[in-house]
């Protein structure tokens, strides 16, 4: 197991330590700012002037992002934490910090070091990390007698529209007691093996499949990264893995063959024992389910079987944490149920953006979701179809990264069958790739999707309702025209308008019928 570079350590006690964050508006960075702030650190930070939702998080703490400038690095700054989007030899804050010999830590290194100071649990997987982490935190918030801190990859409604939850019990602990007496749960990312800086005692593994093709050319490459992360567990550490995901099962087996001391804890329909999942009814916009360890039936307000699977993972981790503290999970069934029902998602995770009626009287719910991998798109749409049975679904999807679109073109084209209307756009690029290196465009995805849906005879194809508009807001007239159409008898409740992807097509959901 690799160790943290001794030159890049933060103090165990952060109280009064001045830390400057470069790229403070990044989701992970803002979340870490919250965690460090609650540990008594003095925080400053810098970023671009563009407004992000994380500005709200920063401002709640009484902080403000400064423009990048060497003057931000004063004599008071003791450490710098920076986003991987910025370089030590390019950013003026970082250049000045290096010049002054101030220790500069990447976000992942700072998060990793902090994880070494507590009993830490990492949530990983290609899909479901944010929801699962948010569910864990919401349940622990309701249990309320375990000192815990949670860091999710997006704002979580039940955290109070922040990315983190800090139990009041944390503040009563001495810094030296955190390692044995508190829990830290964090979303940990596989991209560029970022999670290898984390020090987990328990890991949730939701899923493993090919993604981030710019860094992992093959499935075996990304699978190996997850295996290596699992092997960072200490002796007799726990892997809580999805028994219904082939990649997770395969990864768990490979890791077990390398480390038979690891305690394997499966969850899901194909799991046995305490966390065997049984799907029950979907009614009154609730997903009901049972887990083997409990007689009680649980429910969540989130659409889709994938969200139920995330809930099962969260309950499994919470129960294993309770056991670590010498408690009996069965005694906490009611509080677990309360926590599950209190979870209503987060920013860009099945987020209800608006509800309104069109001029013709059609009822519309606008949802925004971050799903940007074909599997996530498919399972999320299927979940909406089951959850919102009485609504006609209009999907506006924007593919993210040229490498992912090119590598998974066929899978993307087959992922949108559950929508009644499909609107597609240009590819939303990433700073980490050069579009000129790829022979793929958003129009290619449109043509492939059109071909697939015509062959399958989907509702969208039958109604000639598959559209392409290069720019997002150019699709406003199409969206409004579709939303004004009379609803067929099978959709008595109205429309569900979904913006989906890791790009900025969420703007369309706020622009349609803006005046109503």
Residue 406's contacts (CB-CB under 8 Å, 6 or more residues apart) are: 213, 438, 439, 440
End-to-end CA distance of the chain, in Å?
58
- Does an H or E element contain 186, and which? strand 183-187
Read off the pLDDT of each residue in 55-81 and give the average, rounded to a whole number: 94
Residue with tokens 């970082």: 94
How high is the pLDDT of residue 5?
45
Residue 27: is its pLDDT beyond 90? no
Q: Which two tokens stand for residue 57?
A: 């998080």
Considering the entire predicted model, what is its pTM?
A: 0.79
Read off the pLDDT of each residue in 64-82 and give the average, rounded to a whole number: 96
How high is the pLDDT of residue 178?
67
How high is the pLDDT of residue 4?
39
Read off the pLDDT of each residue in 339-357 and give the average, rounded to a whole number: 86
Read off the pLDDT of each residue in 422-433 and give the average, rounded to a whole number: 87
**Residue range 176-222, pLDDT digits in tens:** 676 678 899 999 988 889 899 999 999 999 999 887 777 889 999 99
What gap in Å lies between CA 127 and CA 110, rounded to an integer?
24
Read off the pLDDT of each residue in 56-84 and give the average, rounded to a whole number: 94
Q: Predicted confidence band at 347 (pLDDT cuts at 50, 70, 90)?
A: confident
What mean pLDDT, rounded, does the chain reach? 91
What gap in Å lies between CA 217 and CA 211, rounded to an integer?
9
Read off the pLDDT of each residue in 256-272 and give the average, rounded to a whole number: 97
DSSP code, position 274: G
Read off the pLDDT of each residue in 33-46 and give the average, rounded to a whole number: 92
SS (HEC) of 290-329? EECCCCCCEEECCCCHHHHHHHHHHHHHHHHHHHHCCCCH
Read off the pLDDT of each residue in 389-399 and give the average, rounded to a whole number: 94
Residue with tokens 């993604």: 211
Backbone angles phi and psi of 94, in degrees to 5: -70, -40
Nearest to 229 by CA among 241, 215, 217: 241
What gap in Å lies between CA 274 and CA 306, rounded to an integer?
19
Read off the pLDDT of each residue in 390-413 and give the average, rounded to a whole number: 93
Residue 282: is its pLDDT beyond 90? no
Looking at the chain, the whole-number percentage of residues with pLDDT higher than 90 is 70
């Amino acid at each position: 197991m690799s160790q943290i570079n001794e030159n890049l350590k933060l103090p165990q006690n952060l109280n009064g330590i001045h830390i400057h964050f470069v790229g403070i508006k990044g989701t992970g960075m803002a979340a870490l700012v919250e965690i460090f702030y609650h540990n008594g650190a003095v925080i400053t930070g810098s970023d671009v002037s563009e407004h992000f939702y994380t500005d709200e998080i920063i401002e709640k703490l009484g902080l403000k992002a400064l423009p990048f400038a060497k003057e931000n690095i004063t004599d008071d700054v003791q450490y710098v934490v920076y986003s991987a989007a910025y370089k030590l030899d390019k950013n003026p804050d970082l250049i000045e910090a290096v010049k002054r010999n101030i220790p500069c830590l990447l976000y992942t290194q700072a998060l990793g070091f902090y994880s070494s100071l507590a009993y830490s649990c990492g949530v990983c997987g290609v899909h479901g990390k944010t929801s699962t982490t948010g569910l864990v935190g919401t349940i622990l918030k309701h249990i309320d007698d375990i000192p815990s801190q949670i860091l999710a990859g997006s704002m979580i409604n039940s955290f109070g529209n922040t990315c983190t939850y800090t139990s009041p019990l944390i503040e009563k602990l001495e810094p030296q007691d955190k390692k044995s007496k508190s829990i830290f749960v964090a979303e940990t990312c596989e991209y560029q093996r970022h999670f290898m800086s984390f020090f987990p005692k328990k890991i949730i593994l939701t899923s493993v499949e090919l993604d981030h093709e710019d860094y992992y050319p093959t499935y075996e490459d990304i699978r190996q990264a997850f295996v290596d992360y699992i092997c960072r567990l200490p002796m007799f550490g726990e892997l809580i893995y999805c028994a219904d995901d082939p990649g997770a099962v395969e990864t768990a087996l490979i890791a077990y063959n390398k480390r038979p001391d690891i305690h394997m804890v499966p969850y899901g329909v194909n799991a046995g024992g305490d966390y065997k999942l049984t799907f029950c009814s979907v009614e009154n916009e609730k997903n009901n389910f049972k887990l083997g360890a409990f007689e009680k039936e649980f429910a969540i307000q989130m659409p889709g079987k994938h969200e139920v699977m995330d809930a099962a993972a969260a309950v499994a981790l919470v129960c294993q944490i309770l056991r670590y503290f010498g408690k009996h999970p069965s005694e906490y069934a009611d509080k677990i149920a309360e926590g599950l029902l209190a979870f209503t998602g987060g920013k860009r995770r099945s987020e209800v953006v608006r509800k309104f009626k069109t001029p013709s009287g059609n009822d519309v719910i606008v949802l925004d979701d971050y799903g940007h991998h074909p599997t996530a798109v498919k399972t999320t749409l299927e979940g909406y179809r089951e959850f919102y049975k009485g609504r006609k679904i209009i999907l506006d999807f924007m593919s993210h990264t040229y490498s992912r679109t090119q590598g998974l073109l066929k899978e993307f084209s087959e992922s949108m069958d559950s929508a009644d209307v499909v609107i597609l756009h240009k590819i939303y690029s990433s700073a980490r790739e050069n579009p000129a290196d790829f022979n793929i465009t958003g129009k290619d995805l449109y043509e492939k999707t059109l071909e697939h849906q015509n062959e399958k005879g989907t509702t969208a194809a039958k109604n000639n309702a598959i559209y392409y508009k290069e720019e997002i807001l150019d699709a406003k007239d199409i969206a409004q025209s579709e939303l004004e159409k009379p609803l067929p008898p099978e959709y008595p409740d109205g429309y569900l308008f979904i913006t989906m992807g890791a790009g900025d097509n969420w703007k369309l959901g706020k622009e349609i019928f803006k005046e109503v």
